[in-house]
Each structure stands twice: as C-alpha cells, then as structure tokens.
Amino acid sequence: MLVNNAGVQNPAVPIEAIERRVWDRILDVNLTGTFLAIKTVTPSLRRNGGGVIVNIASTMAHVGTSLYAPYVASKWALRGLTRTATLELGRDGIRVNSIHPGVISTPLINEPIAGQPPIADFYSPEPYAIPRMGTPADITTLLLYLTSADASFVTGSEFVADGGLLLGPALQPDTTAA
C-alpha cells in the first residue's frame, strides 16, 4: 500500500504576491511528490498482484479559497491524478482513493506559517454540523478502512471528512420565539 500524506501550505497572500519559488515548492511537495510516489510504487504493486493507494487531499480541492492559490491548485490537481491512476491501475488490482480532510487539529493548523498567525486563530468550527475541529484519529479511521479488505470494491472515490464544513453553516432554529 501507499499513502501519500505529504503536504505543505503557503502563506496567505493574493495571487499577484505569490513568489514563483513558493508556487513551485507547494506543487512539488503536494502534487509532484505524489506523482513520483505512485510512479515508483506501481511496478511493485503490479508484481504483487495488486494493492491500495490513498492520496490525502483537502476540502480545498472542492472550492476556491482566496489567498491560498498554490495549495488549492495542488489539491485540485491531486483529484485528477487520483482519478487517472484509478483508471490506469484498476485492472491490475490496484485501488486508488482520496481523502479530503477539513480543518484537522495538526501543526499545519495550529502553528504559525511564515510569520503569519495560525489558521486556528481565525477558524471556528462552531457553525458547522459537527462543531469541533477534526483530529488525526478521525482521518486515520477512514484510512484504515480504505486500506482494508472491507473496501475491496471501493476505488476512484473521494471521501470528505470535514464535519460538514463544505455543506456550510448548520443553522439552528430560534427556540426563543413562540
């Protein structure tokens, strides 16, 4: 099995202020690294008669997000790479899926990036269906399922694990009005 989980985030800046070296680094790690890993492991998986590849993407692969163009572009492209690999490798018994985490409590969210405040400082999960940040264990559980024999018929699928973030706010009824 292969789990492509490397990912880096760019500082929050508008497109015209993004330096080319930042753009290249984000795409090199988030997209090219995944491509190279798939390319490298495929012959071995074929020789073994199959296997599983899971690419860790992001909910940002489903929306536009201002100030994060390199990250968003890399994760959208990862969706296409995942689907292409699914079609190319499926007949060899190799399943390929992706997980799209929302805001997960990790250093990427909780620590400053390039001198900017951490994302956790301006993100609140309160309005969403599950009003908490995700944990690494939330993603690990899904990953363990996808790499197990229980998921033997699952390929080419995108699994969003975001507590309802992409759905938008979970508005609550006004219980004070009678």
Tens-place pLDDT, residues 42-92: 999 999 999 999 999 999 999 999 999 999 999 999 999 999 999 999 999
- 128 part of the active site: no
Q: How confident is the model at residue 125 (pLDDT cuts 50, 70, 90)?
A: confident
Q: Which two tokens stand for residue 56?
A: 């860790």
Counting residues of the chain whose pLDDT is more than 70, the rounded percentage is 99
Is 174 exposed, middle or buried, given 0-12, 13-18 or 19+ CB atoms closer than 10 A?
Answer: exposed
- Angle value at C-alpha 78, between 46 and 44, nearest 5 degrees: 15
Q: Is 39 exposed, middle or buried (0-12, 13-18, 19+ CB in 10 A)?
A: exposed
pLDDT for 91 equals 98
Superfamily of domain 2-165: NAD(P)-binding Rossmann-like Domain (3.40.50.720)
Q: Give this prediction's pTM.
A: 0.91
Higher pLDDT, 83 or 105: 83
**List 71, 123, 128, 145, catalytic entry:** 71
Q: Quote the percentage of the chain above a pLDDT of 90.
A: 78
For helices 69-89 and 33-47, the axis angle rounded to 10 degrees is: 20
pLDDT value at position 121? 82
